[in-house]
Amino acid sequence: MTFSLNEIEATGKRAARGAGLDWGIAEEAGKAARWLTAHGLPGPELLAELLTRNEGESYDELAPISVDGVWQAKSGWLCPLIAGAALSDRAAQVAAGCEFEFGPIAYPLLLAPYAACGACSRGAAIELSWPGAALTISPDDGLVVEGDMAAVAARTVSSVHCRPAAENTVTPPAGEPGRAVDAETWSRLSAFAHRTFAPATEASRAFGAGAGLVDSD
Amino acid sequence: MDAIRKPTPTAPLRSPETVMRLARLGSFHQCRLSFMRILLRRMKRENWTFDRPVFDIDAKGVGVAVYSAHGPDRTYSLVAFAHDLPPEQRSDRVIAHAWDSTFTLFDGVPTSDDIERLSWNVPKQEAGRVTNCEISVSRANRSVRLFKHVVDSLAAGRQPDPEQIEAVGYLMRTTAVYGSGKLGAADREAIAGRPEFAAPFQPEMLSVFLTRAYTLDLVEHLARTRAPETAATIAPDLRHRFGVGNSTGLGLAPFIVNHPALFNNWIAAREEALARVRALPRASNEEAATFRTMLARARQNAEEWRSEHSLQIQKLIMLKADLSHLETHTTADLLEGEAPWDRLYRWAEANLSIEGQEQLVSLMLEPYGELVDDLAGSMSANEADSFRIDGAMSLARLKEIVEEVYDFALKIDWASPDPNARVWYVSEEKLEPRLGERYDEPIEPYEQPLQPGRDAVRMHADISAWEGENTVAAFLLRHPQHRHIARRAQITARLPYAEIRDNTISAALLPIDLLRVKLAFFGATHFDPRSDRWVRINMFQDAPFPHELSEGDADDWSYPPWRRRADDFFAE
Average pLDDT, chain B: 92
Tell me what pLDDT residue B567 has: 42
Tally the domains of chain B.
Answer: 3
Tell me what pLDDT residue B301 has: 92
Could you read off the pLDDT of A182-208 as tens digits, one per residue? 999 999 999 999 999 998 776 666 666
B282 DSSP β-pair partners: none
What amino acid occupies position A169? T
Whether B95 and B110 map to the same domain: the answer is yes
| A158 or B312, which is more confident | A158
In order, the DSSP letters of B372-404 are HGGGGGGS---THHHHS--TTSBHHHHHHHHHH
User: Across the interface, which of A23, A27, A215 has its CB nearest the CB of B247?
Assistant: A215
Question: What percentage of chain B has pLDDT greater than the value 90?
Answer: 81
| Residue ranges of A 72-91 with Cβ closer than 8 A to chain B | 82, 85-86, 88-91
Tell me what pLDDT residue B542 has: 94
How far apart, in whole angstroms, are the C-alpha atoms of residue B208 and residue B195?
Answer: 19
Could you read off the pLDDT of A89-140 as tens digits, one per residue? 999 999 999 999 999 999 999 999 999 988 988 889 999 999 999 999 998 8
How far apart, in whole angstroms, are the C-alpha atoms of residue B228 and residue B209?
Answer: 28
Tell me what pLDDT residue A28 has: 98
Structural domain contains residue A48: yes
Q: Which residues of B touch A213 (CB under 8 A)?
A: 308, 530-531
Structural domain contains residue A32: yes
**Could you tell me which residues come within 8 angstroms of residue B124 by beta carbon, excluding any fewer than 6 positions away?**
B97
User: Across the interface, which of B92, B391, B480 has its CB nearest the CB of A25?
Assistant: B480
Please name which of A175, A208, A26 lies closest in space to residue B187, comparing C-alpha atoms: A175
Whether B462 and B331 map to the same domain: the answer is no
Structural domain contains residue A217: no
Specify the length of chain B in residues. Answer: 572
Tell me what pLDDT residue A174 has: 59
Structural domain contains residue B517: no
Tell me what pLDDT residue B157 has: 97
Tell me what pLDDT residue B564 has: 45
Structural domain contains residue A205: no
Question: Which of A25, A37, A59, A89 has the most B C-beta neighbours within 10 Å, making it the best mutation to test the interface with B?
Answer: A89
Tell me what pLDDT residue A216 has: 47
Q: How far is A138 from chain B (nearest CA, A)?
A: 16
How far apart, in whole angstroms, are the C-alpha atoms of residue A96 and residue B388?
Answer: 17
**Average pLDDT estimate for B537-555:** 94
- Among residues B220, B249, B278, the one where a domain terminates is B249
Global pTM exceeds 0.90? yes
* pLDDT value at B91 more than 90: no
Q: B536-565 as b/e, with b when 16 or more CB fall inside 10 Å? A: bbbbbbbbbbbeebeeeebbbbbbbeeeee
How far apart, in whole angstroms, are the C-alpha atoms of residue B32 and residue B38?
Answer: 7
Instruction: State the Cα angle at B571 between B566 and B572, rounded to 5°.
Output: 100
| Region class of B7: left (phi > 0), else alpha (psi between -120 and 50), else beta | beta
Whether B308 and B241 map to the same domain: the answer is no
Range(s) of the domain holding residue B176: 35-249
Cβ atoms of B533 and B435 closer than 8 Å: yes
Tell me what pLDDT residue B532 has: 84
Could you read off the pLDDT of B426-441 as tens digits, one per residue? 988 767 889 999 999 8
Q: How far is B487 from chain A (nearest CA, A)?
A: 8
B139 DSSP β-pair partners: B102, B176
Q: What is the CB neighbour count within 10 angstroms for residue B465? A: 7
Instruction: Tell me, yes or no, if B534 comes closer than 8 A to chain A by beta carbon.
Output: yes
Cβ atoms of A106 and A138 closer than 8 Å: no
Q: Which residues of A touch B181 (CB under 8 A)?
A: 4-7, 178
How far apart, in whole angstroms, are the C-alpha atoms of residue B380 and residue B261?
Answer: 9
Query: A43-53 vs A5-18: helix axis angle to the nearest 10?
Result: 10
Tell me what pLDDT residue B202 has: 97
For B428, the closest chain A residue by CA position comes to A197
Whether B53 and B167 map to the same domain: the answer is yes
**Could you tell me which residues come within 8 angstroms of residue B285 by beta carbon, excluding any fewer than 6 positions away?**
none
Whether B266 and B206 map to the same domain: the answer is no
Whether B359 and B216 map to the same domain: the answer is no
The reply to whether residue A208 touches residue B427, judged by beta carbons under 8 angstroms, is yes
Whether B228 and B310 map to the same domain: the answer is no
**Residue by residue, what is the 3-state secondary structure of B208-254?**
HHHHHHHHHHHHHHHHHHHCCCCCCCCCHHHHHCCEEEEEECHHHHH
Structural domain contains residue B565: no
Cβ atoms of A16 and A26 closer than 8 Å: yes
Picking from A121-125, B23-27, B374-378, B568-572, which range would have the lowest pLDDT averaged per residue? B568-572
Q: What is the CB neighbour count within 10 angstroms for residue A149? A: 12
User: Across the interface, which of A59, A117, A177 has its CB nearest the CB of B190?
Assistant: A177
Q: B237-273 as b/e, with b when 16 or more CB fall inside 10 Å? A: eeebbbbbbbbbbbbbbbebbebbbbbbbbbbbbbbb
Question: Which of B450, B455, B531 has the most A C-beta neighbours within 10 Å, making it the best mutation to test the interface with A?
Answer: B531
Structural domain contains residue B533: no
Tell me what pLDDT residue A52 has: 98
Distance of CA B545 to the CA centre of its chain: 20
Report how far apart the first and last C-alpha atoms of chain B are (Å, whole number): 40
Instruction: Tell me, yes or no, if B202 comes closer than 8 A to chain A by beta carbon.
Output: no
For B476, the closest chain A residue by CA position comes to A86
Tell me what pLDDT residue B552 has: 86
Instruction: Tell me, yes or no, if B260 comes closer than 8 A to chain A by beta carbon.
Output: no
Structural domain contains residue A56: yes
How far apart, in whole angstroms, are the C-alpha atoms of residue A64 and residue A89?
Answer: 13
Whether B276 and B410 map to the same domain: the answer is no
Compute the half-sphere exposure of residue B48: CA atoms within 13 Å on the CB side of its CA: 28
Q: Give helix then strand counts, H and E, for chain B.
A: 24, 11
Tell me what pLDDT residue B571 has: 40
Tell me what pLDDT residue A179 has: 80
Structural domain contains residue A204: no
* pLDDT value at A172 more than 90: no
**Average pLDDT estimate for B286-295:** 95
A144 DSSP β-pair partners: A136
DSSP code of B42?
A: H
What amino acid occupies position B535? V
Cβ atoms of B174 and B208 closer than 8 Å: yes
- Among residues B352, B377, B402, the one where a domain terminates is B377
Q: Which residues of A touch B429 (CB under 8 A)?
A: 200, 205
Tell me what pLDDT residue B96 has: 81
Instruction: Give the residue ranges of DSSP H helices in B79-130.
Output: 112-119
- Among residues B324, B353, B377, the one where a domain terminates is B377
Tell me what pLDDT residue A213 has: 42
Number of A:B CB contacts under 8 A? 172
Q: Which residues of B touch A88 (CB under 8 A)?
A: 388-389, 391
* pLDDT value at B242 more than 90: yes
The reply to whether residue B436 touches residue A204, judged by beta carbons under 8 angstroms, is yes
Structural domain contains residue A213: no
Cα–Cα separations (whole angstroms), residue B265 to B37, B181, B376? 17, 22, 10
Tally the domains of chain A.
Answer: 1
Picking from A36-40, A177-181, B52-56, B456-460, which range would have the lowest pLDDT averaged per residue? A177-181
Cβ atoms of B277 and B372 closer than 8 Å: yes
Structural domain contains residue B563: no
Please name which of B481, B469, B467, B464 lies closest in space to residue B391, comparing C-alpha atoms: B469
User: Across the interface, which of A2, A194, A208 has its CB nearest the CB of B184?
Assistant: A2
Whether B389 and B362 map to the same domain: the answer is no
Whether B359 and B414 map to the same domain: the answer is no
Tell me what pLDDT residue B9 has: 44
| Residue ranges of B 441-500 with Cβ closer than 8 A to chain A | 441, 443, 446, 449, 472-473, 476-477, 480-487
Could you read off the pLDDT of B380-416 as tens digits, one per residue? 998 888 999 999 999 999 999 999 999 999 999 999 9
Whether B301 and B442 map to the same domain: the answer is no
**Average pLDDT estimate for B479-503:** 98
**Average pLDDT estimate for B144-159:** 96
Could you read off the pLDDT of B302-348 as tens digits, one per residue? 998 888 888 889 999 999 999 999 999 988 777 888 999 999 999 99
Whether B412 and B452 map to the same domain: the answer is yes
Q: How far is A217 from chain B (nearest CA, A)?
A: 6
Positive or negative torsion for Cα A124, A32, A105, A75: positive
Cα–Cα separations (whole angstroms), residue B377 to B48, B255, B380, B495? 19, 21, 7, 17
Structural domain contains residue B20: no
Cα–Cα separations (whole angstroms), residue A154 to A150, A159, B385? 6, 12, 30
**Average pLDDT estimate for B231-239:** 95
Q: Give the three-state DSSP class for A56.
A: coil
Could you read off the pLDDT of B189-220 as tens digits, one per residue? 899 999 999 999 999 999 999 999 999 999 99
What pairing do the DSSP bridges indicate for beta strands B243-248 and B422-427?
A: unpaired
Please name which of B218, B216, B224 lies closest in space to residue B240, comparing C-alpha atoms: B216
* pLDDT value at B354 more than 90: yes
How far apart, in whole angstroms, are the C-alpha atoms of residue A41 and residue A109?
Answer: 9
Range(s) of the domain holding residue A47: 2-174+181-199
ipTM: 0.95
| Residue ranges of B 96-125 with Cβ closer than 8 A to chain A | none
Cβ atoms of A34 and A43 closer than 8 Å: yes
Please name which of B33, B25, B520 lies closest in space to residue B276, comparing C-alpha atoms: B33
Structural domain contains residue B183: yes
Confidence of residue B97 (pLDDT cuts 50, 70, 90): confident
Structural domain contains residue B44: yes
